[in-house]
Structure 1
Amino acid sequence: MTENEILDEFRASDALLEGHFILSSGRHSAQYLQCARVLMDPARGARLANALVSKMPENIRNAIEIVVSPAMGGVIVGHEMGRALGKEAIFLERPEGTFELRRGFRLEPGQKVLMMEDVVTTGLSSREAIKAIGEAGGDVIAAGALVDRSNGTASFDVPFYPLIALEVPSYADEDVPAELAAVPTTKPGSRQS
């Protein structure tokens, strides 16, 4: 898929939003990609996951044994990546503020993991998920995301494969431009703290 075809999938599902958004990272942005909307159509989710799998090097694709994603945002895309790779997909939750496996999910010692996110802004949640996977015995060999909106600043100790990278500015509380500050805020993500 080309970048325009990928963005068309977001536009067709009304998932590319304009306004004043407080992201899960706490940063502010004038645009928000609501991946839950783009993934509510299973056929669209499958197309996007297949496109991402095709961008990954063959040796990485072949080494992945399981897909693990952080809840909430990563659950559906993680499942779609599992389907595209022909692998199981499980997810992490934060019942007490830190990621952990629940619901009887477990990883075999050294099991090769793709950690899959919907959107990466700062990379903090992804790094927390990678740490939790390692603590559960998994070996994260790659990270993936539908959207990298970190403007190239997110870094991991493993290769990172986003389907698309969007150069959308985000701002700390003290750096929000006056024109954006004048717009009422919306917090569309799943993390409320």
Structure 2
Amino acid sequence: MNLEQIYKENKAFLEGHFLLSSGKHSRFYLQSAKILENPILASKLCEELAAIIGEARVEFNSICSPALGGILAGYELARACGKRFIFTERVEGQMQLRRGFEVQKGEKFLICEDIITTGGSAMESAKIIEELGGIVVGFAALANRGFCKVTNLKDTQRKANAKLNENLPLFSLGNFEFEIYESSDCPLCKQGSKAFKPGSRTNS
């Protein structure tokens, strides 16, 4: 599966001048919402991801995703795996489990995102699950942004700013590594371009 080609064909591989959630800038951006707006494609991708996880023989009872970006990917992965699905969401900047969702003591969870960058949001969800008595056994994402090591992909390395628990597996369909610039030393800014933030946190 050529994930980069799929993203490009669905206008989800964007080129321009982007402001990332970290505050840094990049020439490229992955907009997974354009992938997940197609239910048939979303189902196909998550079935492939489910097969990869199945081959690794990771045992889990449920899937949890951080809102907003991870919800569709997590739901489709849960459906492909035949598992229960819940999600966490931010309330006044704090990640919480709401809407009557419960975690059973000893219940094993996989945390799923659409894209894993440093893994910060995924770890916030994992912390909540563990505080409620659940056990996080791994992470999954449609795409990895090159900061975290992917269990099923060769030639991926963990970067210094990766936040995922390195003792747990991360499964992904593909790895993307883009050059990222500090806002104070961005060549695109120096050319007179203004950074645009297309991410889910601004709904732009």
Same fold (TM over 0.5): yes
Query: 1:140 corresponds to which residue?
Result: 136
CA contact under 8 A between 1:123 and 1:150: conserved in structure 2? no
Query: 2:182 corresponds to which residue?
Result: 172
- Is 1:45 matched up with 2:55? no
Matches within 5 A, 1:18-167: 18-56=15-53, 57-60=55-58, 63-151=59-147, 152=157, 153=159, 154=162, 155-156=164-165, 157-167=167-177
Alpha-carbon distance in structure 2 between the residues aligned to 1:95 and 1:119:
21
Aligned residues: 186
Deviations 1:86-111 (A, max 9, x none): 01111100112121111111111111
Residues 136 and 14 of structure 1: is their aligned pair in 2 closer, same or farther, counting only changes over 3 Å? same
- Identity rate of aligned residues, in percent? 39
Alpha-carbon distance in structure 2 between the residues aligned to 1:169 and 1:14:
20
Deviations 1:139-190 (A, max 9, x none): 11010111111343234241111211111122333342x2355322111112
Structure 1 segments, 4+ long, off by >4 Å, are none
Give the secondary structure class of the aligned counterpart of 1:185: coil
Select the residue among 6, 11, 27 that pairs with 2:8: 11
Deviations 1:38-83 (A, max 9, x none): 00001100111111112223421xx111110000000000001001
AA in 2 matched with 1:172: E
Query: 1:183 corresponds to which residue?
Result: 193
Give the secondary structure class of the aligned counterpart of 2:94: coil
Give the secondary structure class of the aligned counterpart of 1:84: helix
1:129 deviation in Å? 1.8
1:34 deviation in Å? 0.5
Alpha-carbon distance in structure 2 between the residues aligned to 1:137 and 1:13:
40
CA contact under 8 A between 1:30 and 1:180: conserved in structure 2? no
Alpha-carbon distance in structure 2 between the residues aligned to 1:85 and 1:126:
19
1:136 deviation in Å? 2.5
AA in 2 matched with 1:179: L
CA contact under 8 A between 1:25 and 1:121: conserved in structure 2? no
Residues 11 and 21 of structure 1: is their aligned pair in 2 closer, same or farther, counting only changes over 3 Å? same
CA contact under 8 A between 2:17 and 2:188: conserved in structure 1? no
CA contact under 8 A between 1:19 and 1:183: conserved in structure 2? no
Normalising by the residue count of structure 1, what TM-score does the alignment of the two structures yield? Answer: 0.89
Residues 129 and 26 of structure 1: is their aligned pair in 2 closer, same or farther, counting only changes over 3 Å? farther
Question: Runs of 5+ in structure 1 lacking a partner?
Answer: none
Normalising by the residue count of structure 2, what TM-score does the alignment of the two structures yield? Answer: 0.84
